Amino acid sequence: MLADVNTTNIASAIRLGCRTMCSVFNADDDDVPFFGSQVWPDAFLSFSTSASEAHVPGRHLNALLNAEDVLGLKVNEGCIDRHARAAFLAYSGALPLPLNRDRIGGPLVHFYPHNVREGFHALYALARFRDSAPAVELAERSIRAIQKLWHPHNGWDKERIESKFELHSTTFIIGLARAIGPLAKLHRHTGCPGALELALELADKATSEFYLPSGAYDRETFGPHTHSTTCVMSSLAQLADLTRNASLMERVRAFYDNGLNDIRDQLGWVIESSDDGRDPDRGEVNNTGDVVETALLLGKWGYPHYFEDAERILRCHLLPSQLRDTSFIREPANPHNEDGRRDVADRHLGAFGFPAPYGHKTLDAQRISFNMDIVGGSVGSLCEVYRQAVDTTPAGHYVHLHFDRETEAVAVESPYTHRHMRVRAKRPGPLFVRLPSWVETEVISVDGLDDPPRLHNGYLVLSQPPINRWITIRFDLTERDIVLSHRTREIKVRLRGDSVAAMSNFGAELTFFPALEA
């Protein structure tokens, strides 16, 4: 089951993830998508009283419709319609908030502020990519309701909400703060003023009480659900980029460089829960996607070493962790003909879940699961990677990440899939190619240029590259050893460039990489 990330390019990972997201509708629940999943020791898909209709559709619509946009593919419209129908179902209660049922066929009775982010992601995606007036109108009503029902110092109006629903409140970071990102997107693409107003109010609380100048992580105040910590970090970066707020972006950078290291390792694996006693190797891949999205924005703001971090994370953890071999999944007995027990292996092909750095099954695993919301989070992040890996700005053409990629202005052949890195400018303009920190600049050779390049801020700058002629940039993918320090063990890794050549796996099953011999 070893991953071949060199042939797992970003576009194919996105396409396969889209296939997964279009296969998870529960025929026994009017096609509301499943949330829960498990593939070992037994296999099934399941309904959730906290996430099926209020959570999964937002993650999936954001990912599916972004995938259409970046790849030009056409997602089955029935898949989009069913996710949209489930999202609107969640908002069909007495208050315009994303709600959940207590059982299949039951009423909407649960309100988890945790799901406000996913609700807005559904409405944003439908507004932006389907020009949905009902989604815009509902988003505006929901924002007004939140502004009446929530106060930055007093929290939720519990009495008013609980007269209608059960309020499942938690820390601010695990709850409403998560919505900053989709609110920023909603304002960017629809101009909704209430979205920006609420995003700024939430960000003020987040930076005054949680994401402090020190950049420290405090589990007790943030809460142990680490995906909330990473998605709020990414959300603050999106808002900073939208509003061109350098001080807010510096606050994000402080956390990225400091507190984030309490819950991640050097390859971008992030522990699923920071609670004591949890499986020390169990990660969660959409956490990793949030780290990548944040790194892309920090790189865009002039710190190219964050692009290097993003590339290493993608090659060493995010892409290898996609489920591409389901042969180990045993189809369950299904005496009652339940949809959640049909074609379980095939419906998981392309999923993302809770891996260790070394494989799908942690050493202490009691189960292996790929909860279906995580597919959406991971694919949404890969869409941002696809957008930003190669970019054209007024300053010129930028190659930030070394994946095979072609845009209208630039073509790139990766040194990981070809003998050497090659770039081809298709339009006039300077060409900036990021050089990793492990490359010895004095041994780089460049063929195909009339004038020698120069180095500037971590980039090889080709001031006047020839049009439609390949330029070869030669450098070795340096091998080096690092150690990942997890809570109960050290994991040795041999890197080749920014990919894994081998890794300690302690005899684990379902691993991603060749074993690193002791």
Give per-residue pLDDT as tens, 230-251: 999 999 999 999 999 999 999 9
Confidence class for position 1, pLDDT limits 50, 70, 90: low
Tens of pLDDT, residues 389-411: 999 999 999 999 999 999 999 99
Model pLDDT, residue 370: 94
Q: For 275, which DSSP code?
A: S
Start-to-end Cα distance in the chain: 21
Tens of pLDDT, residues 332-357: 999 999 999 999 999 999 999 999 99
The DSSP secondary structure of 412-426, one letter per residue, reads: EE-TTTSSSEEEEES
Tens of pLDDT, residues 476-505: 999 999 999 888 899 999 999 999 999 999
* Half-sphere exposure in the Cβ direction for 180 (13 Å, CA): 31
Confidence class for position 196, pLDDT limits 50, 70, 90: very high
Confidence class for position 4, pLDDT limits 50, 70, 90: low
Model pLDDT, residue 338: 98
Model pLDDT, residue 485: 87
Query: How far apart, in whole angstroms, are the C-alpha atoms of residue 39 and residue 37?
Result: 7
Confidence class for position 8, pLDDT limits 50, 70, 90: low
In contact, 74 and 80? CB cutoff 8 Å: no
Confidence class for position 60, pLDDT limits 50, 70, 90: very high
Contacts (Cβ under 8 Å, ≥6 apart) of 21: 60, 63, 64, 79, 83, 372, 375, 376, 379
- In this structure, CATH architecture of domain 10-392: Alpha/alpha barrel (1.50)
Q: What is the mean pLDDT of the chain?
A: 96
Model pLDDT, residue 486: 87
Model pLDDT, residue 517: 78
Q: What is the average per-residue pLDDT within 167-174?
A: 96
Position 441 pLDDT exceeds 90: no
Q: What is the average per-residue pLDDT within 321-331?
A: 96
Q: What is the average per-residue pLDDT within 426-442?
A: 95
Place of tokens 């499942």: 168
In contact, 97 and 112? CB cutoff 8 Å: no
Percent of the chain whose pLDDT exceeds 90: 94
Beta strand spans in 25-146 (E): 25-26, 32-33, 36-38, 44-46, 99-101, 108-111
Position 513 pLDDT exceeds 60: yes
Model pLDDT, residue 3: 55
Contacts (Cβ under 8 Å, ≥6 apart) of 438: 478, 480, 497
For residue 45, give the amino acid letter. Answer: L
Position 5 pLDDT exceeds 90: no
Position 70 pLDDT exceeds 90: yes
Q: What is the average per-residue pLDDT within 310-317?
A: 98
Model pLDDT, residue 2: 58
Beta strand spans in 157-282 (E): 166-167
pTM exceeding the 0.95 threshold for the entire prediction:
yes
Q: 3-state DSSP call for residue 50?
A: coil
| Exposure class string for 155-189: b at 16+ Cβ within 10 A, else e | ebeeeebeeebebebebbbbbbbbbbbbbbbbbbe
Query: How far apart, in whole angstroms, are the C-alpha atoms of residue 18 and residue 355?
Result: 20
- Domain residues of the chain, as ranges? 10-392
| Exposure class string for 195-218: b at 16+ Cβ within 10 A, else e | bbebbbbbbebbbeebbbeebebe
